[in-house]
Chains A and B, each alone.
Chain A
Amino acid sequence: MQTIASALEPPRLPHDRDSPSQWMDYVYADGRVLTSRQLNWRNVDLRILVEVRFHIKGAIWGLRRSDCPSTCVELVVFRTAGSDFRIVTDPNHSQRFEVIPHMSWCLGWTDGQTEYLDRYCWKSGRHLERFTLPRDYSRFPDHFHPMSGRALATLPGHG
């Protein structure tokens, strides 16, 4: 079966071949929109980032800096992987189980004390949970952009 990308979907690179219909948009203050197929989140210029959008299987989730509370100091993006299991019961066969790879994308913001996050299912695009975590560079270094703590004073609207 061939997967045909929609007209809106950015070109897929070789390392995205297992990720049709799933990408992120990074919207800059100057109007440019870059995608996760062009650069890794850690290479996004956080100083001019104004919006992040997740495109997952037709669902679009996003967060604008301007819609965050005034206490927002930066947006937070990270992903989670792992594995779950599912028992499959078929009356014609014995029970069996399937390994279900877990993949979710998290998007949120931080006020410098707490991360306010939403988790989305990478497979279905469904919103899974809203949760908070303490903002902790040492414990969750991959939750934070390399510019965190260095460029915050020059972020749009927070200079």
Chain B
Amino acid sequence: MAAPTTEFRAVANSLATTALDTASERKTAAAAGTLVDASGANPLDFGLVSIAGAVAAVRSAVKHLLFHCTNYQGNSQISNLRAWFAGTGNWGFDQAGTRLQYRALRYEAGANGSAYVVNADENSYGGHAAWDVMAVQANAPTQNLFAGNGATSFSTGATDDVVGLQALLEVDPAETSGTYLGTVTAGYEMRLSLRFDFS
């Protein structure tokens, strides 16, 4: 059988907690979001981060992403979601101090992930230093994204859910200026790899 079809959707960082605290609400919110993919036409735009005159890292606004399954293709469960940058060629930045920081989210009580904060900024979740850093490495990391209820998996039917994260780009003041896209643009790339298990 074919693999489940999935997608990322960008949603507002201002969505109310009460609008996301059930799986069906989260699925609806994801479907209404803006498609984000690696085609080059639908990037997640972190906007302009100006490091002109900066002596310390400068951070972008926080972006809110939902990942969900659009067709299980006859399968029933998805688990073990992992995201990372598979190498420096997929990352593009040249300063170690430039990092993609993120928080894996949950939208209700659960075992994994951080409880969603509405209108999160770099000071949320205990401050940016406490945010996780998206790994730049050859192999997939251990699971670093979770279902909207904090579970490590989700499945067809009533338990179908989304995977949420908020992310920001922390840019080192010595970083090379440029437009960093998910396409090859003079060495400025930022392309995330993804893995999930299913059966």
- A-to-B contact residues, CB < 8 Å: 15-16, 18-19, 36, 40-42, 77-85, 87, 94-97, 99, 101-103, 106, 138-143
Taking a contact as CB atoms under 8 Å apart, the answer to whether A96 and B2 are in contact is: no
Complex CA distance for A138 and B90, rounded to whole angstroms: 32
Chain B 57-98 near chain A by CB (<8 Å), digits 1 or 0: 000000000000000011111111010001001100000000
Contacts of B79 in A (CB 8 A): 139-143
Taking a contact as CB atoms under 8 Å apart, the answer to whether B193 and A97 are in contact is: no
Complex CA distance for A81 and B152, rounded to whole angstroms: 16
Contact of A139 with B197 at beta-carbon distance under 8 Å, contacts A40-B74, A42-B76 already known = no
Contact of A78 with B152 at beta-carbon distance under 8 Å, contacts A96-B184, A97-B183, A103-B3 already known = no
Residue of B nearest to A141 (CB): B153
Complex CA distance for A87 and B2, rounded to whole angstroms: 26
- B-to-A contact residues, CB < 8 Å: 1-4, 6, 38-39, 73-80, 82, 86, 89-90, 143, 152-153, 155, 182-184, 189, 191, 193-199
Taking a contact as CB atoms under 8 Å apart, the answer to whether A79 and B90 are in contact is: no
Residue of B nearest to A17 (CB): B2
Complex CA distance for A41 and B197, rounded to whole angstroms: 14
Residue of A nearest to B187 (CB): A95
Contact of A138 with B152 at beta-carbon distance under 8 Å, contacts A15-B2, A96-B184, A99-B39 already known = yes
Residue of B nearest to A96 (CB): B184
Contacts of B152 in A (CB 8 A): 138-141
Contact of A85 with B191 at beta-carbon distance under 8 Å, contacts A79-B3, A79-B199, A142-B197 already known = yes
Complex CA distance for A18 and B197, rounded to whole angstroms: 19
Contacts of B86 in A (CB 8 A): 84-85
Complex CA distance for A80 and B143, rounded to whole angstroms: 13
Taking a contact as CB atoms under 8 Å apart, the answer to whether B4 and A142 are in contact is: no
Contacts of B80 in A (CB 8 A): 80, 139-140, 142
Known: A42-B76, A97-B191. 16 other contacts (CB 8 A): A16-B2, A19-B1, A19-B2, A40-B74, A40-B199, A77-B199, A78-B197, A80-B80, A85-B86, A85-B191, A97-B184, A101-B3, A139-B79, A139-B143, A141-B79, A141-B155
Contacts of A101 in B (CB 8 A): 3
Contacts of A95 in B (CB 8 A): 184
Residue of A nearest to B73 (CB): A15
Q: Quick one: which of A40, A78, A97, A143 has the most chain B CB within 10 A?
A: A97
